[in-house]
């Protein structure tokens, strides 16, 4: 049984599917990165920094109404775009759905899988791992 995509993930799927090639997807990725709500200086703390990323990445999560809402920021433009499509995919998920998410599959569906370098892939996996840790900690 497949869980339906959150509306923001459906929007990402439609937008990226419409791109004929990598250059258009990269441009779209940059545009999605501009959508990220900025984090305050206090949110850009060492405690919210995701380790395992080559770029600086911060992540804050909030659990309300039985669903997770995450916000993230990065110093790198392309990473901001990748974070934006990751956040679109996880928006509103509960802990078990977050644990079950296949990150590589999501980026492949968007046509971005092959363009992810190993370091970017590792960084995004570190972000997802941090999300899962926050969900796991909140569950206890």
Angstrom CA distances, 79 to 1, 9, 58, 66, 118, stand at 31, 17, 11, 28, 13
**Considering Cα of 22, then 27, then 31, then 34, what sign does the dihedral take?**
positive
Classified as helix, coil or strand, 63 is strand
What tokens does 112 get? 């971005």
Q: Which helix (H) or strand (E) is 9 found in, with range?
A: helix 7-17
Is 96 within 8 Å of 134 (Cβ atoms)? no
Selecting among 9, 50, 53, 85, the annotated active-site residue is 53
Tell me, yes or no, if 19 is annotated catalytic: no
Active site residues: 53
């Amino acid at each position: 049984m497949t869980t339906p995509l959150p509306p923001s993930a459906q929007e990402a799927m439609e937008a990226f599917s419409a791109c004929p090639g990598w250059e258009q997807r990269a441009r779209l990725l940059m545009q999605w990165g501009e959508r990220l709500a900025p984090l305050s200086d206090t949110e850009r703390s060492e405690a919210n920094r995701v380790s395992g990323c080559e770029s600086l990445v911060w992540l804050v999560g909030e659990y309300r109404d039985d669903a997770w809402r995450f916000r993230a920021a990065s110093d790198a433009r392309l990473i901001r775009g990748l974070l934006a499509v990751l956040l679109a995919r996880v928006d509103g998920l509960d802990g078990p759905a977050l644990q079950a998410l296949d990150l590589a599959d999501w980026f492949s569906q968007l046509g971005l899988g092959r363009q992810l370098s190993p370091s970017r892939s590792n960084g995004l996996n570190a972000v997802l791992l941090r999300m899962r840790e926050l969900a796991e900690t909140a569950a206890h």
